[in-house]
Chains A and B, each alone.
Chain A
Amino acid sequence: MTSNRAVDVVVSLLLLALAGVLGYDNWRTGVSWDATGPQPGYFPFYLALLMAGACVYGLAKEYLARRQPSETFVTREQFTRVLQVFAPTLAFCVLTQWLGLYVASFLLIAGFMAWVGRIAWWKSIVTGLVFAVLMFVTFEIAFDVIMPKGPVEALFGH
């Protein structure tokens, strides 16, 4: 169980760090004025400062309110359910890189329906297959939009 405040503080710190990194990079690029006007780093540098300022303000505000109760960010049960969708999505992205998008999407849909949704295996497999083929026909053939493909599509000559 994490409180909303704890997450808020962590996010603020991360954004503050990001502002620091981006601000530094822009400072290196040049934040002053030259003959042609502001240098490339000028505009983003001040934005980084603005964001850092807003983060510090938020942190101070949360610090002052630290004794007041805060809402729960997620319960353990909710977090499990979020992971149930996040982990397969992550796996899907990895698989897309190796097997191509269509095979990965078949595996994602069939797997997700069967394991997370507890839907009968045959229904899951048929749905996944129909969806993957439908997407293939729509994008590769009808609309000429090229997706990452792997060994299986190669078997069919694509």
Chain B
Amino acid sequence: MEAFGLLWYGFGVLLTWKTLALMMVGLVLGIFVGVLPGLGGPNGVAILLPLTFTMDPTSAIVMLSCIYWGALFGGAITSILFNIPGEAWSVATTFDGYPMAQQGRAAEALTAAFTSSFIGSLVAVLLITFLAPGIASFALRFGPPEFFAVYLLTFCSFVGLGREEKHKTIISMALGLLLAGVGMDTVSGQLRMVFGWPELYRGINFLVAVIGLFGISEIMLTMEERLALRGHAAAISLRVVLKVWKEMPRYWMTLLRSSAIGCWLGITPGGAIAASFMGYNLAKRFSDDKESFGKGRIEGVFAPETAAHASGTSALLPMLALGIPGSGTAAILLGGLMVWGLNPGPLLFVEHKNFVWGLIASMYLGNVVGLVLVLTTVPVFAAVLRVPFAAIAPMIVVSCAIGAYAIQNAMFDIWLMLLFGVVGYVFKKIGIPLAPFTLALVLGNRAEDAFRLSMIGAGGDLRVFWSNGLVGTITTLALVLLFWPLISAGWDRLRGKAT
């Protein structure tokens, strides 16, 4: 098995004291941002990204991905102890997690959440280890039309499968693609949409936008709702851990089902949130005792947590293999890769073996270390939430500003961050989804280049997107997904007539 050899090699890259220390730092910072309301995976990674600018790419990505794992673990702490989901995908965890805490079974719920997160990620990492190299080498044969078709598929699946109003998803996506085009045009070198404003020549940096959209706007929303933090205390003892672990095998079907859902939805973009709800609902549907869900059933914690983590982790698969992020945080990691001059996509597996396998190995190690760390340090992190919000809010604002400034050393970016903060606040309130915007902003230039290169190659003939079986299938699939709501409505009507 080639993958084993490469993975072993990856562990070799990883096992230095410096990398291991960075891993611990990343995990602690990650749990910290996951626990704090108003931060979370995407912001945490975006804000802490500048810390890594002076590191070599492998150390940097190991630290960033550990921040990501930490944030995933941290989200569960707030959901269970405080009934406040730190992340959208932790919402389903509150359904049974918080009732368990109310019944004094907080430690059990937390152990269940952490362990199932670990299992979900582990399944997804295994998937990445064995599938990603194959997908990447397959994608090496891709030309510009194939790549454009894959980008199209990503965008169309957001519009067709998203729960938001379709025109709002389209607005969000088109705006992201437009803003990605601001500045120097990569093909012709001409300036576009800058209106003679020198600050715009560099273009609108993706990370600055993310920090504003998620960090600053989240602070405003949290202030508006005035969260009163009242939580349950918890310390996890070894006895409880062993008890939960002994119970776990009984729920193997739930764990397996949730892992599968999570992996599937993580690879298709926009998945983690849907995955956690779907994992929960399916566990409920297949259960003999549906009534007990929502009243503190341990299975109700296992199901969404496994699914959310499986999808959060497997979202990295398309990012590594194709250069297409499956989630908001994966999109930010992708932005980071580009800062270090690495070009995400199939070539990464050939040109930067160290980097890719170091990252994959760090997923294994980071999850094991993360599990032990959270199980032992829950009381410390739960205490973080007792710090008054009035102290945390300005600190988050400062961290956001540092993050935004450090990317290009530009004061203009701090102002841009503030603007995006207001935009994010308003968009969230009127239901314009931010994820398509983020994805469009990071992929915009690559999608446009792929389109123009295909057009140049084909002499302007749009039929190039159906010129061979592969590209034709992807393009058609993209269109099917785009019109999926219409197709499924039509199908239902036909079936209605038949019966």
Task: Give A contacts to B, CB under 8 Å.
Answer: 4, 7-8, 11, 15, 18-19, 22, 25-26, 29, 33, 36-44, 47-48, 50-51, 54-55, 57-58, 61, 73-74, 78, 81-82, 84-86, 88-90, 92-93, 96-97, 101, 105, 108-109, 112-113, 116-119, 127, 131, 135, 138-139, 143-148
Contact = CB atoms under 8 A, between A and B. Distances in A.
Contacts of A44: 177-178, 181, 192-193
Main secondary structure of the interface of A (DSSP, over half): helix
Given A73-B429, A82-B220, 7 more contacts: A58-B165, A73-B430, A82-B223, A89-B219, A89-B397, A93-B414, A116-B390
Interface residues on B, range: 35 or more
A105 B223 CA distance: 19
A109 B167 contact: no
B232 interface: no
A47 B178 contact: yes
Contacts, number: 177
**Nearest 6 pairs of A and B residues by beta carbon:** A117-B390, A51-B174, A37-B456, A105-B398, A112-B394, A54-B170
B455 A113 contact: no
B398 A135 contact: yes
Contacts of B219: 85, 89
B51 interface: yes
7 contacts: A4-B429, A7-B430, A54-B168, A61-B167, A89-B418, A93-B418, A113-B388
B17 to A, nearest CB: 17
Main secondary structure of the interface of B (DSSP, over half): helix
Given A50-B170, A139-B402, A25 B192 contact: yes
B170 A26 contact: no
A33 B421 CA distance: 38
Interface stretch (B83-91, B98-106, B375-383, B405-413): B405-413
B499 interface: no
B175 interface: yes
Interface stretch (B182-190, B242-250, B485-493): B182-190
A11 B167 contact: no
B211 interface: no
A74 B224 contact: yes
B391 A11 contact: no
Interface of B: 50-51, 53-54, 165, 167-168, 170-171, 174-175, 177-178, 181, 185, 187-188, 190, 192-193, 195, 216, 219-220, 223-226, 388-391, 393-395, 397-398, 401-402, 405-406, 409, 411, 414-415, 418, 421-422, 425-427, 429-430, 432, 448, 451-452, 455-456, 460
Contact of A88 (B177, B394, B411, B429): B394
A74 B452 CA distance: 44
A81 B220 CA distance: 8
Contacts of A118: 390
Contacts of B427: 11
A51 B171 contact: yes
B397 A92 contact: yes
Contact of A96 (B177, B414, B448): B414
Contacts of B175: 15, 18, 51
